[in-house]
Amino acid sequence: MGDPNQDHFSTAPPSPMIISPKAKLSLGLNNCHTGERQKLFGHTNPNVGILDEQVLSLVFRRLNWDPQTVCSAACTSRRMRAVAGRILFFELCLSRAPRLVSSVLITPIGAQPCGVAGSSPHVPGGWRALAKLLLFCCGCEPSRFFESSDKTPGHFAPVSRFSKTSGKSFLVRRCWGDVLYVSDPCEHANPAGEEEDLGVYRGVFGGFMRSRTRACLIGKNIQLEAHIRCPYCGARVWSMTAAGLVPKSASRRLGTHEDSLEYFVCVNGHLHGSCWLTRLSSSDADDDDDDDDDDGRDEDSGAADETVAW
């Protein structure tokens, strides 16, 4: 009997059918420390190859953060979904609407600068929800304050303009200090074939948890809707119509009658709504211009608007 600790190898070459790939990898590594073996086999760092977050950022930056490609990649695995939710959708939003992102961004104290691997800036509802809001028209479903003959499906919006000035028109006077970006309405043909077209719009609050709008909703004890959810983050919503917080300036901004619109705000500060678009008369246009002059616009408010395209 030889030394049991001594390895013996046959002089004939081993058959590849009886030596597994794992056994081949282990040959010659018996004396390696556990930490060295794990480092060689990649067990200590899952961010290797294409799963490296910096590599992924470079790849998608080269693709100009194409939304459909990012969404497809996020569906490939749980890890890719996590990376997309933390980094890829954030970079997509930042590339499309940097001013809007800076308004809604929440950066914890001591966090690293945005865009650095390991940094943890976030927004209520997550970056995936904000990216969807920027690039996706949610369509329309009938509600108790907005009648429609049929459901209108959502779709990717090639170009959308989000305006903080327009957002102010959706706030009652006592809430004018809030930051709200609202898109121009996306026009859809009337399902019933009538002359009025369906307008679908969306928006997002900056700092919604500290906003006067949220304080008003809670102070008035407005109940959350039972059967409607936010189409972007899935959270529960308040009906601004039921709360009596829809100002006349909103209908003038949209070009519709006061009883022909409704919009909702979710607990994460996402806004979505619908209206019937009508042609403006000359007197309505003059009233809208007067409202713009009196809404307290700052000099740089126009610069805060964002045009999002993909």
Residues 255 and 191 in one domain: yes
Q: Is the pLDDT of residue 207 over 60?
A: yes
**Confidence grade of residue 197 (pLDDT, cut at 50, 70, 90):** confident
The whole-number pLDDT of residue 213 equals 97
d(CA 290, CA 286): 6
Q: How many CA atoms lie within 13 A of 4 on its CB side?
A: 0
Q: Is the pLDDT of residue 47 over 90?
A: no
Kindly tell me the burial class for residue 107, based on how many C-beta atoms sit within 10 Å of its own C-beta (0-12, 13-18, 19 or more): middle
The whole-number pLDDT of residue 62 equals 86
φ and ψ at residue 84, rounded to 5 degrees: -65, -45
The whole-number pLDDT of residue 265 equals 97
Is 291 part of a structural domain of the chain? no
Residue 168 one-letter amino acid: K
**Cβ-count burial 238-264 (b if 16+ within 10 Å, e if not):** bbbbbbebbbebbbbbbbbeeebbbbb
The answer to whether the CB of 243 falls within 8 A of the CB of 284 is: no
Is 46 part of a structural domain of the chain? no
Q: pLDDT tens, 18-27? A: 434 444 443 3
Is 211 part of a structural domain of the chain? yes
Higher pLDDT: 28 or 204? It is: 204
Paired tokens of 180:
């709200």
The whole-number pLDDT of residue 31 equals 47
Residues 91 and 159 in one domain: no
Q: To which H or E segment does residue 301 belong? A: none
d(CA 204, CA 212): 14
Q: pLDDT tens, 227-238? A: 999 999 999 999
Is 18 part of a structural domain of the chain? no
Q: Say how many domains are in the chain.
A: 2
The residue length of the chain stands at 310
Q: pLDDT tens, 27-39? A: 344 444 444 434 4
Is 187 part of a structural domain of the chain? yes
Distances (CA, A) of 197 to 94, 191, 250, 255: 32, 9, 17, 11
Is 33 part of a structural domain of the chain? no
**What pTM was computed for the model?**
0.74
d(CA 94, CA 92): 5
The domain of 67 spans: 53-96
Q: Is the pLDDT of residue 161 over 80?
A: yes
Is 2 part of a structural domain of the chain? no
